[in-house]
Amino acid sequence: MTKRPEAMAAFFNDRATIYDQQQLINADGGIEGYQRLADFIPTATNQILDLVCGTGLELAAIFAKLPTVKVTGIDLATNMLAQLRKKYADRNIQLINADYLQADWGPTNFDVVITVMSLHHFTTTEKLTIYERVFQKLPVGGRFINCDYMIGNNDQTQADSFAKAQQQALTAYHLDDQHRYHLDTPLTVKTEQHLLRQAGFAAVQQVWSNHNNVMLLAEK
């Protein structure tokens, strides 16, 4: 039997102080994806929403490019947010500790929405819901940048295997699928692009990748 999945918030709260170090070792391409993301954020950007912001690894390059930009970050893990606030105490940041699907993203529209190495924990249905909400929060011409663990070779059987393993784990331990657990359910790049277009984005392109770490840029 597979190991019992950890609750999502507990998993990341327990690893908050070592998360950056682990991520730079484990993520395909290491720091490059976090740094390259800033290249696709227009210089005129004033407001950024960082979904599942974690410790804010991606924000170093963004603040180097746009020192005065306002960033709203949403994350489920309080300890991860504490690490982010410590690193960027002098920046214009608003942090929201909440479930990403249920959180109120506020009345503000954003010039750019970003998310890095996070959405591979969500199901296909949940992702479409997130992408639709992102679309509504952007003006015409606004950008959504998703850098995440995806199945880079578009092998659908791999995606199906991950989804099956998730269901088996939930069933084996009698877990409620309405709660968040640390389970990977990456989709193929092709499916990700399809979901973004289904959510309303007119232009979707792959702008960077390193094996299964893929960055997609979607424009409204």
Phi then psi for residue 139, to 5 deg, are -80, 170
Output phi, psi for 13, to 5 deg.
-60, -40
Consecutive H or E run containing 174: none
What is the rounded average pLDDT of the residues 103-116?
91
| Model pTM score | 0.90
Measured between alpha carbons, how far is 109 from 125 in angstroms, rounded to an integer?
24
Q: Is the pLDDT of residue 183 over 80?
A: no
Among 9-23, 94-108, 133-147, 165-179, the range with the most confident prediction by mean pLDDT is: 133-147
Q: What is the pLDDT of residues 129-148, one digit of tens each?
A: 999 999 999 999 999 999 99
Q: Is the pLDDT of residue 175 over 70?
A: no
Residue 3 tokens read as 């190991």
Is residue 1 over pLDDT 60?
no
The DSSP code for 113 is: E
What pLDDT, on a 0 to 100 scale, did the predictor assign at position 151? 92
Query: Who wins on pLDDT, 183 or 45?
Result: 45
> 68 or 8: whose pLDDT is higher?
68
Which CATH fold topology does 8-219 show? Rossmann fold (3.40.50)
Write the single-letter amino acid at 174: H
Who wins on pLDDT, 108 or 87? Answer: 87
